[in-house]
Structure 1
Amino acid sequence: MIGEVDVARQGDVAVVTLKREAKLNALSTQLESRLLDAVRSDAVKGSRAVVITGGDKVFSAGADTGELREMTPEAIAEYYRSSGAVYEAVAALPQPTVAAIAGYCLGGGFELALAADLRVADETAVFGLPEVGLGILPSSGGVTRLVRAVGPARTRDLVLRGRKMSTVEAHSWGLLTETVEAGEHLTTALNIAAELAGQPPMAVSIAKQVITAATDAPRETALLLEQLAYATLNRIG
């Protein structure tokens, strides 16, 4: 347990659970710091796959925006270098990551889920980025990842309108790997993570990096990355 975040191992899978249920797992700077500690913990470093969840009822209702409103521009810049770096730390993990989602997955919570490689949501999940309605905007990778995942038109629809979307709609947009019945999100995510953990770790890690780089790389660069990665893995194998 790291404060408001629990880290446990199930074999080769590390399970990171947000534990601020009374506040719907709102991502305060303290919770983000604890999550960053969890991501950097030995339990996660020694794993071969990672599941991130908010538990049975809610993933996260979003960031604690009141904290940031009190900050100066200099303090906000420091925030992105400290606890606010957790979203990119999750995205940069060498292991495959799976977000197990139920209930609210809003604002910073949605951005955290988008930082994972795969997302499993049960039928109770609700997604959205309400920041523009609060006079701000998603700033922890949400806009960038959404544009790459669903294109600018759909990103404008979701971000500018601040509307919520269901599990069914999120799946139809290609944002979810699997949808399941209520309460089955964590079990399904753990099964997927165990499957990923059984794959050759170097191949999984390098393939993950190539896919990320190929998302917005020129075609020739992406092809070269594939070929160099293959040559590297073939040599290791």
Structure 2
Amino acid sequence: MTPHPGFIQVERDGDVATITLRREDKQNALSAHLETALLRTLSTRAVTSSRVIILTGGDKVFSAGADITELPAMTPDAIDQYYRRSGSVYEAVATLPQPTISAIAGYCLGGGLELALATDIRVADPTAVFGFPETSHGILPSSGGISRSIRMIGMGRARDLVLRGHRIDAKKAENWGLITETTEMADQLNQAMVIAQSLAMTAPFALNITKRVLDANADASHRSGLFIEQLAYSLLNNSSTT
């Protein structure tokens, strides 16, 4: 599948790569074409050589979710193939070696919220709106939205967010722990850049190992998690390129 060249924009500011979703006429709806374009963008030199990645949808909307016009035509086999192809982009974002930051304004719904949750840090301006409307369409979040929500905000709030399909504002999202912080109006990208520039000054190998330890600890017992931390500390302490 050949992605539309206008779907993704990449800019470099020193060691920081900013990836912008550019499907404004459809509120950055996550079509298979856009997902494919994003997946391919992640492997470009501009992104792989960066130390920190910012993901944004611009000043008006992050993403209103999946392109639901594609859903009715998808058979079970087609859906399986989707997860193996363009639908793998969510896990590709989650497993990037660099720290990742979402800069969010406006709608961050459904697949858009799943994409944001796949990043390490999320900052949003007061216009941001979050939610999983999938149940109203007879489906459910299926690209990590449920599992990541449970880990971030707990089972009770995750049940409320997913089952009811309602929307919450940036203040509540921050209080729940769904996002990291709320910025001043239209300042989400500036704040993301401040965080990114700070992270870019940290040793990339240390950040990569720490990200992997954090991910491993999410599913580990206390004893296993502690052992993983200690092994990683030993690795970093004896590395000449931390």
Name the TM-score, length of structure 1 as normaliser. Answer: 0.98
Q: Which residue does the alignment assign to 1:205?
A: 208
Query: 2:207, 2:134 → 1: CA distance?
Result: 34
Unmatched 5+ stretches in structure 1: none
**SS state of the match for residue 122, structure 2?**
strand
The sequence identity of aligned pairs, in percent, is: 57
Q: Which residue does the alignment assign to 2:45?
A: 42
**SS state of the match for residue 228, structure 2?**
helix
Query: 2:43, 2:76 → 1: CA distance?
Result: 27
Q: Which residue does the alignment assign to 1:127?
A: 130
Within 5 A, what are the aligned runs for 1:1-237?
A: 2-237=5-240
Query: 2:212, 2:148 → 1: CA distance?
Result: 15
Report the RMSD for the aligned CA atoms in angstroms: 1.0
Query: 1:205, 1:168 → 2: CA distance?
Result: 30
Query: 2:87, 2:67 → 1: CA distance?
Result: 12
Segment drifting more, 37-46 vs 92-101? 37-46
Query: 1:69, 1:227 → 2: CA distance?
Result: 49
CA deviations on 1:45-76 (whole Å, 9 max, x unpaired) are 00000000000110000001221321111110
The alpha-carbon deviation at position 8 of structure 1 amounts to: 1.3
Instruction: Give the letter for the 2:152 counterpart.
Output: A
CA deviations on 1:144-173 (whole Å, 9 max, x unpaired) are 100111111111100010000000000001
Instruction: Give the letter for the 2:98 counterpart.
Output: Q
**SS state of the match for residue 151, structure 1?**
helix
Instruction: Give the letter for the 2:135 counterpart.
Output: V
The alpha-carbon deviation at position 175 of structure 1 amounts to: 1.6
Instruction: Give the letter for the 2:64 counterpart.
Output: A
Query: 1:177, 1:38 → 2: CA distance?
Result: 25
Query: 2:119, 2:5 → 1: CA distance?
Result: 20
Relative distance call for 1:126 and 1:174 in structure 2 (3 A) is: same
Instruction: Give the letter for the 1:96 counterpart.
Output: P
Query: 1:66, 1:144 → 2: CA distance?
Result: 25
CA deviations on 1:69-119 (whole Å, 9 max, x unpaired) are 211111100100100000000000000000000000000000000000000
Indicate if the aligned counterparts of 1:2 and 1:37 stay in contact, CA closer than 8 A.
no
CA deviations on 1:134-153 (whole Å, 9 max, x unpaired) are 10000010001001111111
Indicate if the aligned counterparts of 1:14 and 1:47 stay in contact, CA closer than 8 A.
yes
**SS state of the match for residue 100, structure 1?**
strand
Aligned length: 237
Query: 1:39, 1:155 → 2: CA distance?
Result: 29
After TM superposition, what 4+ stretches of structure 1 lie above 4 angstroms from structure 2?
none
Indicate if the aligned counterparts of 1:3 and 1:34 stay in contact, CA closer than 8 A.
no
The alpha-carbon deviation at position 38 of structure 1 amounts to: 1.1
**SS state of the match for residue 123, structure 2?**
strand
